[in-house]
Each structure stands twice: as structure tokens, then as C-alpha cells.
Chain A
């Protein structure tokens, strides 16, 4: 009996010690010393607070600084309503165009081999690498009074610059990588076998697209549309160049924010800005949800 007790007491001691030692060794391999860890995390948190959270809070604080009534009145101004309408219209047009373009481009790149494919992929990224102001200027050069098509457009009485078409074009140009970028890697990874299977089972091209291809990429499409939309609504530079800033007509929300701010109408400026900030927050949440779906789509590929 005593022997048993002695055994059961003395044995675990070195065992536990060894285990603790091993755990410590593992920990020190896996992470930095505690002080370093705390410093790094604190730095990151401070940075985020100062540069992201604080401005966001300030936007809402300023917007509501004169009370909820003033906030709502500012949003109900005809000029504000016109800007919101225009922004939604432009976003709808450019997201629609880029959805079609993105699908076509991703399809072409992922499912076919052709000459100039790398060039096309590079071209899709162009709007990311060009300053938006220059993107806007391109349209001024093309469609402005002194531009290449300027005189022809005037003869036919078509207004592109300083009107909805110009703003929509500039926005479309700036946002066109989003859908294509979201889809190309997804479609490349999925390959063409399911489509081949569908066709050999007698499906037509359209049936294959709507029953096989589209369901497989739908989360990617939504993801691209979401980011495209966020950028389209928030675009400032390119739109500023082509819009002409006609009050109540060609001012989008970001443009109106700047104008109101320059006129010292802080509550009105921040009220509009708060709408854009909310759009950003909603986009962020939706993005997280979509990313989860996208990742789920990847898991079952374990053959």
C-alpha cells in the first residue's frame, strides 16, 4: 500500500516538470517574449485607433453635433437628395457594366488559352495603378470640347462630360478590376471539367453557364460586386475631373461633401459623409460574410 502511494506521488513529479519544460520550449519557439508581444499588439491597436476608429467616430460626432433634427434636415436638402440619387444611379450603371465585363474577361482568361492573355490580365489591373485624376483626364481628352470626339459630339448634341454619361464612364473605368479580379483566380482554380461534363450530358452553352458555371462562382461574383459598388460610390478623383460640379445635377456624394465642407457647412458635409461611412461599414460586414462563403467553397476539394 505504502509502496503504491510512494509510486503514485513520486512518479508524476518529474513527468509534470518535463511536460512544463516542453511546453515552455514550444511557446518560446512559437512566439516572441511577452514584452515584445505586448508592445507590437499595443502599437497596432494604437495605430488603428488613431487612423481608423477615431476619424470614423469624428464623422458621426460632427454630423450629429447640432442634434438629430439638424442631421436629418441636412440629408433632406434637395442638393443632398440629388447627390444621393446620382451616386446610386452611377453606381448601378458602373456595377452593371463591370459585372458583365468582369464575367466575360474572367471567363475568357480562365477557360481559354489565347495570345495576349497576359497582356489582358495586366490591362485589367491598369485602373489600380493609374491615379484616378488621370483616369478622369483621359475622358476629358477624349470627349471634352477640344478632345478627339469633342466636335463630333457637339454636332450631334450629345453631352458626355459634365453629365451623367461622363461620370458613369469615369467611375466604370476606375472600378473595372474588381469583379474580374475576384473571379479570375476562382474560375482558374475550378477549371473546365464541370463545364465539359455538362456539355457531354447534353447541356447547351447557356444551360451550362446558368446551371453550372454561375452557381459555382456566385459568391465570388457577389464579392466583386460589393467591392466594386463601394468604390463606385466613394470615387472622388476621376469623377471630380469629369463632373463639372454643377450643383444639384452632377455632384455625387463625395463631391458634395467637399463643396459643403469648403462652404463651412460642417453638419451637412459630415451628414453626407456619415452615409458614406455607413456604406463602408456595411460593405465590411458583407465582405466578411462573403469571404466565409468563399472559403467554404474551397474546403471540399480534398481528393
Chain B
């Protein structure tokens, strides 16, 4: 199933939740909608599901108009952030729900429903919980049941709204891996919403970065990380150092200090320079584009993180390998291995 979204606009009062969104999702893709809260990603997902309606724009599934159908007819599996399991039904009945409410003409007999529910519970590896109630399950278990319930109707599309948002970090990591392998197995076109960049980059085939109701960039996890298209994407994905600079007459300045960086092809005026923390290479004083004094150093997993006061006024944090000798008080030179400059303040 392919999904095509054209020029979608949705307002809540004066707030523009979606401001002209265009998106194409290929068959069998696992797509992540990534953005901060209020970026419109959940609204987009709910409109695709039919739980919300746009003020303008089109949504089509395989070329046919989806907006002509209600949520009930769209055959879309939806997984909610807070599970939304039916609290008065057992796990088994929760999963069976979508099969039991089908019109009588197409409804399967009880035996078939039982077999199907069993298969789904096996698929999410929770067949031993069939007779429990949602309140007796852990968060991770609830979310897997919610997924099984959504899959029961053999959805054409699977939509997941912050599926792991309410879970603790360890369970979240396990479920991520599990979701990716599950998607590999069932191969249904899937979109999931997240504000967690690590989750998006690890799970998805393609990532859509959103901000303020607009799409900032669409690309593979490598694309959005290695070549961010906008200042927002660079700042939002990966840990970036952001420096306000001035481009004037072929020279880049940080505060009043000229930087030894090429300014070819840059528009003059206020701009922003982005460098990943680990792309700042440490050298002796006088080497590199920047110079600064180390304030303090902390060991941080496989790297050491140093706070450096740049001559030019800004204070930044850089990541360096643990074997590099950094001491508070030292003056160092810094050379960005890779950097990007985006025009505008």
C-alpha cells in the first residue's frame, strides 16, 4: 500500500498544526515521523488514520481518495501512545475485538477467530497472557498487545503514535529492535511517530523530520544525520554545536574574531555554523579554526566531554576520544572536521 499526502493543512483555532505537508510513502516502508512536540507529526498520523480531518489537502491510499472514507472503512491499524486497550476485556478479547465487530457477512466463525488470535499472540510472544486484563500487564506487554490488536484486522497500513514513549529506556530499546524485526516479517507499510531521534534513526528505513507543521527533510537515517538540509534538522538530530557567525567580504567571524574557514559561496550576513561535537578535532594552540580554553572535562561513556570557552565569546561542549589528554585550564586549537553553515540568524 502506498500513501500519498498532498498539501495538507490543519488548524486548531489559530494554531497551524500542519502547514502544507507533502509526503509519499512507498509500499512496505517503515517510516519515522520525527520532530519536537507541537511539530504536527501526531496530527499528520491521525489524519492518515481518519481520526482527524484536514482543513485542506488530499490523502490517498494506492491512488484512491482516503478522505472519502471514515476511520472505520480505511482498514488502518493504529497503535496509541497510551495503548488504549479495552480495560474491561481480557487480552484475548482485546485482540479478537476487530474480528468480532466485522459485519456478519464477512465475520469469521468462532474457531477461526480463536486460531487467528492465538497466532497473533504468538507473534508478539505473549500467548501466555491471553486471560489477563490490561491492568495486570507491564507497559511493554500492553504495547505489544495493542500492536497484536491492530494487526488482527490485517491492516493495509500500520500507524504507531509514539509507540514506546510511555516506556522506560531499557524496554524501549528492546521493543525497538523487536518492532524492526516484526516489520521485516509482516512487511506492511508502517509509519511511526517519535520525538526520539535515536529511535527514528535506529528503526526506520526513512525519516521525515518535521517542525512547526512543515516537513524539514525527508531522507534515509544516514541522509538526515550526515547531510542535514536545514539548520533545524542539524540542531535537532545528533548533538550539535551551534555558533552564531557573520559572513562579510569572504570572511567568517565569530564575534569579532575572524575564523580560518573558507567562506566561498556563502551569502553575506548573519548565519549559523553547525558542527557535531565529535567532529571538533583537538590540536595544539594556534592550530585549527578556533581557539579556546578548557573549562572542565568529564568522562562520558566511550568519550570525554570537554567544556571549552572559545576566544570569541561562546562556550561549547566537544567530545574527544578518551586517549586524548585534556586538562582543565589548557588552551587548545579546534578544527572542525566537518561543518555546515546555514544562512539566517
Contact = CB atoms under 8 A, between A and B. Distances in A.
Interface of A: 193-194, 196-204, 207, 211-212, 215-216, 297, 299-301, 303
Interface string B84-110: 111111000000011001100000000
A201 B50 contact: no
A200 B50 contact: yes
B36 interface: no
B72 interface: yes
Contacts of B102: 202
Which of A196, A200, A299, A301 has the most chain B CB atoms closer than 10 A to its own CB? A200
Given A203-B97, A300-B134, A216 B139 contact: no
B221 interface: no
Contacts of A300: 87, 133-136
A112 to B, nearest CB: 14
9 contacts: A194-B87, A196-B80, A197-B78, A199-B70, A200-B78, A201-B153, A203-B72, A203-B98, A204-B72
Interface of B: 49-51, 70-72, 74-78, 80, 82-89, 97-98, 101-102, 133-136, 139, 142, 146, 149-150, 152-153, 166
B84 A196 contact: yes
A179 to B, nearest CB: 20
Which of A194, A197, A198, A216 has the most chain B CB atoms closer than 10 A to its own CB? A197
B76 A198 contact: no
B94 to A, nearest CB: 9
A205 to B, nearest CB: 9
B101 A204 contact: yes
A297 B71 CA distance: 28
Contacts of B50: 200
A118 to B, nearest CB: 17
Nearest to B133: A300
A299 B134 CA distance: 12
Given A300-B134, A300-B135, A201 B149 contact: yes
Contact of A193 (B77, B80, B149): B80
A198 B78 contact: no
Contacts of A204: 72, 101
A299 B135 CA distance: 8
Contacts of A212: 86
B49 A203 contact: no
A198 B153 CA distance: 11
Contact of A215 (B49, B88, B134): B88
Nearest to A207: B101
Which of A201, A212, A299 has the most chain B CB atoms closer than 10 A to its own CB? A201
Given A200-B71, A204-B72, A216 B87 contact: yes
Q: Is the interface of A mostly helix, strand, loop or mixed?
A: helix
A111 to B, nearest CB: 13
Contact of B98 (A196, A201, A301): A201
Contacts of B101: 198, 201-204, 207, 211
Given A202-B153, A300-B87, A193 B135 contact: no
Contacts of B82: 193, 303
Contacts of B83: 303
Nearest to A214: B88
Contact of A201 (B97, B133, B136, B142): B97
A303 B142 contact: yes
A300 B102 CA distance: 29
Contacts of B146: 197
A199 B84 CA distance: 12
A194 B87 CA distance: 9
Q: Which 6 A-B pairs have the closest CB atoms?
A: A300-B135, A201-B98, A193-B84, A203-B101, A197-B84, A200-B78
Contacts of A200: 49-51, 71-72, 74, 76-78, 150
Nearest to A215: B88
A204 B152 CA distance: 17
Nearest to A190: B87
Contacts of A202: 72, 75, 98, 101-102, 153
Contact of B166 (A197, A297, A303): A303
Nearest to B102: A202
Contacts of A297: 87
B105 to A, nearest CB: 13
Nearest to B51: A196
A204 B139 CA distance: 28
A211 B98 CA distance: 12
Contacts of A215: 86, 88-89
A60 to B, nearest CB: 41
A202 B106 CA distance: 12
A176 B307 CA distance: 66
Given A200-B77, A215-B89, 16 more contacts: A193-B80, A193-B82, A196-B71, A196-B84, A200-B49, A200-B72, A200-B74, A200-B150, A201-B150, A201-B152, A202-B102, A203-B97, A207-B101, A211-B97, A216-B88, A303-B166
A187 B72 CA distance: 22
Which of A196, A204, A300 has the most chain B CB atoms closer than 10 A to its own CB? A196
Contact of B71 (A193, A199, A207, A299): A199
Which of B77, B84, B98 has the most chain A CB atoms closer than 10 A to its own CB? B84
Nearest to A208: B101
A211 B83 CA distance: 17
Contacts of B87: 194, 216, 297, 300
Contacts of B88: 215-216
B83 to A, nearest CB: 7
A50 to B, nearest CB: 44
